[in-house]
Amino acid sequence: MTNRMISFICLLLGVVLSGGMAQARQSDHSDTNTMEKKHIGNTLALYPMPMTVVGAEVDGRVNWLVVAHVGIIGHDRILVSMSKSHYTNRGIRASRRLSVNLVSREMLPYADYVGSVSGARIDKSQTFAYHTGENGTPMIDLSPLTMECDVVDIYETEGFDNFICSIAATYASPEVLDSRGRIDYSRLKPVLFEFPTYSYLATGEVVGKCLRLDREPSMCAKEPMAEDGIVRLSKIEVLPEYLDEYMRFATEVGEVSLRTEPGVLTMYAVAERDNPCMVTILETYASRAAYERHIASEHFRKYKQGTLHMVKSLELTDQTPLSHANCITNFIRIE
């Protein structure tokens, strides 16, 4: 047998074997996914969605309607999907204009109300204080962000009018903008709507920067509080000459712990206004094991060793929550 023939057979055998191995790996991976997930029918599962109040004029009168089915089309269009039974649709079809107002917690009770009654029977025009925008649509003063929209197309599906809109103008309250004038959603914190249980949810926590998680800090997913979870107050008296240096150590260990440790749920530090050398830290750990991992971590040991000579006194007291339903959500703002 020639060397060329032997080489060809070896190459063919390698291809067959590698293909078989790849197929086996792919099959194993597929089987694992199938076993881990449960088939729940053709459920539409893109909730929660931003809760909005749509504003429009109907027969010469302002009307408000809660709409949760609002989505993005490309970079310059949105889709506002509304049941054909809504009174508001008639005004939007006639004027080809509407406003989309994001809902804050402050305006939630009023938004909930306008979503529960029909404008065909009840005048809802005075539910919100409002102004007319440059594009001629009513804008809710209490809403932190409003988009005035032009309807460029209407796509009808069974039971729904789906208004495809371009954005004519966007208005934002100054307090929800960052230093560069961009919308800061950790300040805006729009209310979300979740359909299966008809619940309102909160948002606003930044867990990382898109496409930059490998280069910039992100927040790890947190563990639930277990029965042996720890709630603790650490009361620390810092020697005055070391106060600034201690604060740098404390800030660093708190940031790293919250960002990287799933079992560190809260690390909220405060200093007394009249005596800043007296520092109190509220710490919550998901479990005893999470606490043990925390005090063994490199960043905690760096803090402990670096500040040992700065601390005059330390008192640790474990606490019992009066209500387990109440908890502090402690997160880091990522600029």
335 located within any domain: no
Domain that includes residue 298, residue range? 230-318
68 and 166 co-located in one domain: yes
pLDDT of residue 204: 72
pLDDT of residue 8: 40
189 and 236 co-located in one domain: no
Q: For residues 312 and 211, what is the distance between their CA atoms, to the nearest angstrom?
A: 45
61 located within any domain: yes
For 25, the token pair is 């790996």
Please, what are the averages of pLDDT over each run of 10 residues along the chain (335 residues)? 45 42 48 73 93 97 96 96 96 98 96 95 97 97 98 97 98 96 92 93 81 79 91 97 97 93 94 97 96 97 97 96 74 55
59 and 191 co-located in one domain: yes
Q: For residues 218 and 191, what is the distance between their CA atoms, to the nearest angstrom?
A: 23
14 located within any domain: no
252 and 188 co-located in one domain: no
pLDDT of residue 136: 97
pLDDT of residue 50: 95
69 and 188 co-located in one domain: yes
Domain CATH code at residue 294? 3.30.70.100
100 located within any domain: yes
Kindly report whether the peptide bond that precedes residue 321 is cis, defined as omega within 30 degrees of 0. no
For 310, the token pair is 């700065």
247 and 172 co-located in one domain: no
325 located within any domain: no
Which string of DSSP letters, residue by residue, matches 173-213?
-GGGB-TTS-B-HHHH---EEETTTTEEE--------TT-T
For 98, the token pair is 């509407």
Instruction: Name, in order, each residue with C-beta under 8 angstroms of 287's C-beta and a sequence gap of 6 or more.
Output: 223, 225, 226, 228, 229, 230, 263
For 224, the token pair is 């639930």
Q: How many domains, the chain?
A: 2
Q: For residues 218 and 210, what is the distance between their CA atoms, to the nearest angstrom?
A: 10
